[in-house]
Amino acid sequence: MTGPNMADPSILFTVEDKDGRLVVLTRRQWEEHILVGHPNMARHLEALKQTIAEPDYILQSDKRADTRLLYRLGVTEGQFSDLYVVAVVRYTAHKGFVRTAYLAFKPITRGEVIWVRTKC
């Protein structure tokens, strides 16, 4: 995982997903979309990174073939500790871009499950 990109301040973070593809979150997307629509995500930037890098499972979007929803449970604290962090990532041929992120009580039931973390 990498943090802020000092060479490009418009990039908030870049992190590898479970398949080794780079996923980018821009500062603009975070500040002007995610925090506006989902202000409870403000304290969960690290949880968002962890969700992308180590999801519990991944759904294929039922709306866009190039978009996946990555879910992770148990990476938030306090009143949000029993909620899923959801990262919605749109992929191009070379990398992914976080479109939105939010907290959810349960996963959506639409879309094909394309990967599930195996339990040990």
Top pLDDT among 44 and 2 is at 44
pLDDT of residue 75: 83
Q: Is the pLDDT of residue 119 over 90?
A: no
Q: Is the pLDDT of residue 57 over 90?
A: yes
Residue 4 near residue 46 (C-beta atoms within 8 A): no
Question: Within 10 A of 3 (CB to CB), how many other CB atoms are there?
Answer: 13
Average pLDDT over residues 88-101: 97
Q: Is the pLDDT of residue 2 over 90?
A: no
Q: Is the pLDDT of residue 116 over 90?
A: yes
Predicted TM-score of the model (pTM) = 0.91
pLDDT of residue 38: 97
Q: Average per-residue pLDDT in the chain? A: 92
Write out pLDDT tens, residues 11-37.
999 999 999 999 999 999 999 999 999
Reported for 101-106, long-range contacts at CB under 8 A and 24+ positions apart, including other chains, are 101/34, 101/38, 101/41, 101/44, 101/48, 101/51, 102/34, 102/37, 102/38, 102/41, 103/38, 103/40, 103/41, 103/44, 103/76, 104/71
